[in-house]
A and B are shown apart, each in its own frame.
Chain A
Amino acid sequence: MKLSAETLRGIDEVITHYPVKRSAALPLLHLVQEDQGFISAEAIEWIAAKLELQPINIYELVTFYPMFRQKPAGRRHIKVCRTLSCAIMGGYRTCAEFQRQFGTGLGEVSPDGEVTVEFVECLASCGTAPVVMIDDQLHEKVDQAKARELSDRIKAESRATAGTR
């Protein structure tokens, strides 16, 4: 597995934060997923070896914690809050709009590989519902019109990158 020098530095640093190596399992999973885009079988073995654990000790985390994925997501990851405060303000419609814009099913990578649209549970910004996270950025009060606007921006980005290729 090839990790960037920066990721490797981050990994060695974060292990020092704990008196017990196993505690670094979640931080390592985050770092590896940020680097690789997902957690592969190889990554599970690598992290386990790094922390002197068995692969099952890492695998059981990947299957439990919703934020870790075993397959790559689209170029942009759209996470729409599904929970009550967002739902009563139209979260389901927001989610459907993103799916329509990219012609994709829930939790799937869109046919063009551009996005993954996913429902997630409470993002803790209920006062500005409905909310959406696109990668690491929170977007507030995302009604259907704003979902279209955000989708257009993502589409424009991908056209721009395609142009420079």
Chain B
Amino acid sequence: MPSPEQHRLIFRHIDEAGYSNDLACYVRNGGYEVLRKSVLRKPEELIDEVKKSGLRGRGGAGFPCGTKWSLVDRKSGKPIYLVVNADESEPGTFKDRYIIHRDPHQMIEGIMISCFANKVERAYIYIRGEFPEGAKILEKAIAEARSAGFTGPNILGSGYGCEIYVHRGAGAYICGEETGLIESLEGKRPYPRIKPPYFPAVLGLYQCPTIVNNVETLCHVKHIADMGGEAYSRIGTPGNTGTRILCVSGHVRRPGYYEFEVGKVTMGQLLNEVCGGPLPGRTFKAVIPGGSSAKVLRFGERYKGKRKAGAEMVDYDWGVEDIPMDFDSLAMIGSMGGSGGVIVMDDSTSMVEALGNINAFYSHESCGQCTPCREGSLWMKKITARMVHGEARPEDGPLLKSVADQIAGRTICAFGEACAWPTQSFIAKFGDEFKGYAEAKKAPRPDGVPELV
């Protein structure tokens, strides 16, 4: 089946010739008209539209946005904060970069509609430290929007006011975790908070109710407010509505960002048709479907079971190529859609070395608060590094697995799972390669195959 056309909602203007990131260009293209209409509506109505839309968070967890908003404690009398998660730190993910740099006003409009809907009077954009230019672009865009009356006091004469501030991170992955992000925004080390009791919707920033949403999610809110929740829910597939930006990197001919209706494109269509297939003379070996912490998929394996199709349960028997790129299908086959970062590895890649690279990342980024994660991620890194640079033993695979199994479920935040899943899935799916690595590494490294550890 040929791949469907891209459906560019969020990335509509991203590669358009002559489209610039200033206010005049955005307004020329109909910008801030949705905000203008939204401030004339009741805030509750907008929340209802988002609920009806079925929008799920695009940052990684895929939690329904409307539900997140409805959990906010509105009776405490404390101010409600909106924090925009622009930390974009999951390896393999690079969609928010383009929104921030090339279409910042779309994001600001989405933020303002979300703030109005939730009666938020102060919002912070937490942007990763590695986007210094992005931070400047956002600051300029906010200033432009403010002087045009789209943010700041008395927005568009409605009597409602809201300020947006940009807050820069400083290179720590854990700040993408919402409670770690909040700690960081409070000027502390980003140690994630334990839930309960610290659900951001109740006890978030400064112990006030707080909404933390991803950049892309907030852009979707603008389109939901525009077309209505019901119309939006007809885009995509049931339970997986709207569009989604898929970021493809690694061993394909045309890596990049592609926006499709959620669930309408399969992994095979995405990689073979949209991205042009494997590099010349190579074949696909493995793919990580939703950012580096998602469990790896091995080309050639089959996924079987029963799934819901409308009201009925039907059997499915899929290869990697057949998996629809939506939240539920990827969860069903034991991985996740996560942040939309698809990392492709071909037959030139050693899975031991690829895992060594991933383990070095998680060991570097563990905040160190929980012992299983701090120690476990370090030992997984040390074992894989030794396998690559020193002696590799047949029992290293099971040893790695046993370390990983002792982390997941024993930590304050989901980083424990994020660092355990790669090891667990690499060993489960490429166990033989780990077992035979000592022999395999005796052969000289083929030309052009890069080091990973």
A121 adjacent to chain B (CB < 8 Å): yes
Across the interface, do A83 and B357 meet the contact criterion of CB distance under 8 Å? Answer: yes
8 Å CB interface, B34-49 against A: none
Shortest distance between the CB of A147 and any CB in chain B (Å): 13
Chain A residue at minimum C-beta to C-beta distance from B79? A19
B171 adjacent to chain A (CB < 8 Å): yes
Q: With A27-B168, A30-B170, A84-B343 known to touch, is A124 a contact of B97 (CB < 8 Å)?
A: yes
Q: How far is the CA of A88 from the CA of B292 in the complex (A)?
A: 13
| The one of A22, A25, A84, A137 that contacts B91, using a Cβ cutoff of 8 Å | A84
Q: With A65-B172, A122-B361, A127-B256 known to touch, is A92 a contact of B450 (CB < 8 Å)?
A: yes
Across the interface, do B165 and A126 meet the contact criterion of CB distance under 8 Å? Answer: no
User: Closest 8 CB pairs between A and B?
Assistant: A126-B249, A65-B170, A25-B187, A66-B171, A22-B187, A85-B249, A67-B171, A67-B170
Q: How far is the CA of A132 from the CA of B74 in the complex (A)?
A: 45
A145 adjacent to chain B (CB < 8 Å): no
A32 adjacent to chain B (CB < 8 Å): no
Q: How far is the CA of A23 from the CA of B92 in the complex (A)?
A: 30
B257 contacts across to A, CB distance below 8 A = 127
Across the interface, do B185 and A84 meet the contact criterion of CB distance under 8 Å? Answer: no
B209 adjacent to chain A (CB < 8 Å): no
B251 contacts across to A, CB distance below 8 A = 88
B433 adjacent to chain A (CB < 8 Å): no
Across the interface, do A124 and B361 meet the contact criterion of CB distance under 8 Å? Answer: no
Q: How far is the CA of A64 from the CA of B129 in the complex (A)?
A: 14
Q: How far is the CA of A82 from the CA of B165 in the complex (A)?
A: 31
A49 adjacent to chain B (CB < 8 Å): no
A5 adjacent to chain B (CB < 8 Å): no
The 8 A CB mask of B351-384 against A (1 = contact, 0 = none) is: 0001001101100110100000000000000000
Shortest distance between the CB of A146 and any CB in chain B (Å): 15
Across the interface, do B129 and A125 meet the contact criterion of CB distance under 8 Å? Answer: no
Across the interface, do B255 and A121 meet the contact criterion of CB distance under 8 Å? Answer: no
| The one of A29, A30, A84, A90 that contacts B92, using a Cβ cutoff of 8 Å | A84
Across the interface, do B170 and A66 meet the contact criterion of CB distance under 8 Å? Answer: yes
| The one of B130, B184, B452 that contacts A84, using a Cβ cutoff of 8 Å | B452
Q: With A85-B249, A88-B452 known to touch, is A22 a contact of B188 (CB < 8 Å)?
A: yes
A65 contacts across to B, CB distance below 8 A = 129, 169-172
8 Å CB interface, B173-211 against A: 173, 184-190, 206
Q: With A22-B187, A67-B170 known to touch, is A127 a contact of B94 (CB < 8 Å)?
A: yes
Q: How far is the CA of A60 from the CA of B369 in the complex (A)?
A: 14
| The one of B93, B131, B170, B184 that contacts A126, using a Cβ cutoff of 8 Å | B93
Interface positions of B (Cβ within 8 A of A): 88-94, 96-97, 128-133, 165, 167-173, 184-190, 206, 247-251, 255-257, 288, 292, 341, 343, 345, 349, 354, 357-358, 360-361, 364-365, 367, 450-452
Q: How far is the CA of A25 from the CA of B167 in the complex (A)?
A: 11
8 contacts between A and B (CB under 8 A): A22-B187, A57-B188, A61-B188, A121-B365, A122-B90, A123-B130, A127-B94, A136-B133
Across the interface, do B173 and A29 meet the contact criterion of CB distance under 8 Å? Answer: no
| The one of A64, A87, A123, A127 that contacts B255, using a Cβ cutoff of 8 Å | A127
Shortest distance between the CB of A92 and any CB in chain B (Å): 4
Q: With A126-B94, A129-B249 known to touch, is A92 a contact of B452 (CB < 8 Å)?
A: yes
Across the interface, do A27 and B167 meet the contact criterion of CB distance under 8 Å? Answer: yes
Interface positions of A (Cβ within 8 A of B): 17-20, 22-27, 29-30, 51, 57, 60-61, 64-68, 82-85, 87-93, 120-129, 133, 136-138
Across the interface, do B129 and A67 meet the contact criterion of CB distance under 8 Å? Answer: yes
Q: How far is the CA of A24 from the CA of B166 in the complex (A)?
A: 11
Interface of chain A: mostly helix, strand, loop or mixed:
mixed
Across the interface, do B358 and A124 meet the contact criterion of CB distance under 8 Å? Answer: no
Determine which residue in B130, B168, B184, B256 has the highest number of CB atoms from chain A within 10 A of its CB, and name it: B130
Shortest distance between the CB of B54 and any CB in chain A (Å): 27
Across the interface, do A19 and B206 meet the contact criterion of CB distance under 8 Å? Answer: yes
Q: How far is the CA of A66 from the CA of B369 in the complex (A)?
A: 17
Across the interface, do A88 and B189 meet the contact criterion of CB distance under 8 Å? Answer: no
Q: How far is the CA of A90 from the CA of B248 in the complex (A)?
A: 17
Chain A residue at minimum C-beta to C-beta distance from B367? A64
A129 contacts across to B, CB distance below 8 A = 249-250, 255
Shortest distance between the CB of B275 and any CB in chain A (Å): 10
Shortest distance between the CB of A79 and any CB in chain B (Å): 8
Chain B residue at minimum C-beta to C-beta distance from A79? B130
A64 contacts across to B, CB distance below 8 A = 172, 189-190, 367
Across the interface, do A89 and B188 meet the contact criterion of CB distance under 8 Å? Answer: no
A125 contacts across to B, CB distance below 8 A = 94, 97
Across the interface, do B292 and A121 meet the contact criterion of CB distance under 8 Å? Answer: no
Q: With A26-B169, A125-B94, A127-B249 known to touch, is A84 a contact of B354 (CB < 8 Å)?
A: yes
Q: How far is the CA of A111 from the CA of B184 in the complex (A)?
A: 36
Q: How far is the CA of A23 from the CA of B166 in the complex (A)?
A: 12
B189 contacts across to A, CB distance below 8 A = 60-61, 64
Across the interface, do A29 and B170 meet the contact criterion of CB distance under 8 Å? Answer: yes
A67 contacts across to B, CB distance below 8 A = 129-130, 170-171
Across the interface, do A124 and B186 meet the contact criterion of CB distance under 8 Å? Answer: no
B452 contacts across to A, CB distance below 8 A = 84, 87-88, 92
Shortest distance between the CB of A85 and any CB in chain B (Å): 4
Q: With A22-B186, A66-B171 known to touch, is A88 a contact of B93 (CB < 8 Å)?
A: no
Chain B residue at minimum C-beta to C-beta distance from A136? B132
Q: How far is the CA of A140 from the CA of B97 in the complex (A)?
A: 13
A136 contacts across to B, CB distance below 8 A = 132-133
Across the interface, do B89 and A122 meet the contact criterion of CB distance under 8 Å? Answer: yes
Across the interface, do B187 and A124 meet the contact criterion of CB distance under 8 Å? Answer: no
Chain B residue at minimum C-beta to C-beta distance from A125? B94
A120 contacts across to B, CB distance below 8 A = 130, 171
